[in-house]
């Protein structure tokens, strides 16, 4: 069973529709018991870090999500679902995230220069790491380097461990746009809004 976590802050229908297109059996839920039984777990989200943590805690979802990650249940975090993996965020000082990945979420500096605006909204490339290091993430199978994906965000994750960075994107600064460790995957971009390549990435996740 593929579980999409509902905490009131995600474009759940777009994610669910994309997975339905791929023939997946999907449950959208805010029930901790279903998260505990998930074979794969997707945490999407658009909104504020602090409000998301508050809603997840109110619904009793934080502990089962963290437990699933620790059990190596395949996890895909999308946008805010990536940011929640970190210890903290500049968006909500004093609010603790899942703490699964060391590091914090940072705001794009303003001004960015070159007429770039915040939020970062629209299509942008995801590129191999600038240092040329790191294995190829299995979610990128049959997806060419420098492919375009769709972004909507004002903050980005800054991992303390750079080996987690599977892809980077340039937008005034170079930031981590995709993270990978073992069976934990996270994208700052929205695969469910990224047309054929987004569906391919989701298909690769389903095939794990």
Q: Regarding beta strands 120-126 and 147-153, do their DSSP bridges make them parallel or antiparallel, or are they unpaired? A: antiparallel
Alpha-carbon span 44 to 82, nearest angstrom: 8
Q: What confidence score (pLDDT) does residue 191 get? A: 98
Q: Report domain 2-206's class.
A: alpha beta
65 by DSSP, 3-state: which?
A: helix
Q: Which residues, other chains included, contact 18 with Cβ-Cβ below 8 Å and sequence gap of 6+?
A: 191, 192, 198, 199, 202
| Largest distance between two CA atoms of the chain | 48
Q: What confidence score (pLDDT) does residue 11 get? A: 79
- Beta carbons of 59 and 7 less than 8 angstroms apart: yes
Per-residue burial over 74-99, b if 16 or more Cβ lie within 10 Å, else e, is bbbbbbbbbbbbbebbebbeeeebbe
Q: Regarding beta strands 173-181 and 165-171, do their DSSP bridges make them parallel or antiparallel, or are they unpaired? A: antiparallel
Is there a catalytic annotation at residue 153? no
What H or E segment, with its residue span, contains residue 83? helix 80-83
Catalytic residue chosen out of the listed positions 55, 91, 168, 192: 192
Catalytic residue chosen out of the listed positions 79, 91, 120, 168: 79
Per-residue pLDDT of the chain (208 residues; tens, 9 = 90+): 999 999 998 778 899 999 999 999 999 999 999 999 999 999 998 889 999 999 999 999 999 999 999 999 999 999 999 999 999 999 999 999 999 999 999 999 988 888 899 999 999 999 999 898 877 899 999 999 999 999 999 999 999 999 999 999 999 999 999 999 999 999 999 999 999 999 999 999 999 9
Alpha-carbon span 123 to 151, nearest angstrom: 6
Alpha-carbon span 173 to 169, nearest angstrom: 8
Alpha-carbon span 63 to 92, nearest angstrom: 20
Is there a catalytic annotation at residue 36? no
Q: What confidence score (pLDDT) does residue 9 get? A: 85
Extract the tokens encoding 21: 């297109």
Task: Work out the end-to-end distance of the chain between its first and last CA atoms, rounded to an integer number of angstroms.
Answer: 13
Angle at 31 between CA 99 and CA 54, to 5 degrees: 45
Task: Look at the pTM and tell me if it is higher than 0.75.
Answer: yes
Q: What confidence score (pLDDT) does residue 138 get? A: 97
Q: What confidence score (pLDDT) does residue 94 get? A: 95
- Number of neighbouring beta carbons within 10 Å of residue 125: 15
Is there a catalytic annotation at residue 31? no
CA 24 to chain centre: 19
């Amino acid at each position: 069973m593929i579980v999409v976590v509902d905490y009131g802050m995600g474009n759940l229908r777009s994610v669910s529709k994309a997975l339905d297109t791929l023939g997946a059996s999907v449950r959208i839920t805010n029930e901790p018991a279903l998260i505990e039984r998930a074979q794969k777990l997707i945490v999407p989200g658009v909104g504020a870090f602090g409000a998301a943590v508050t809603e997840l805690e109110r619904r009793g979802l934080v502990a089962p999500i963290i437990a699933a990650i620790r059990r190596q249940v395949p996890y895909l975090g999308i946008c805010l679902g990536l940011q929640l993996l970190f210890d903290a965020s500049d968006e909500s000082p004093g609010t603790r995230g899942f703490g699964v990945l060391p590091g914090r979420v940072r705001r794009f500096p303003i001004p960015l220069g070159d007429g770039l605006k915040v939020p970062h909204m629209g299509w942008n490339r995801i590129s191999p790491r600038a240092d040329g290091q790191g294995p190829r993430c299995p979610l990128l199978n049959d997806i060419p380097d420098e492919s375009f994906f769709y972004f909507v965000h004002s903050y980005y994750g800054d991992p303390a461990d750079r080996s987690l960075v599977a892809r980077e994107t340039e937008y005034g600064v170079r930031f981590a746009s995709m993270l990978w460790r073992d069976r934990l995957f996270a994208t700052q971009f929205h695969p469910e809004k990224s047309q054929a390549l987004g569906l391919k990435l989701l298909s690769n996740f389903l095939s794990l």
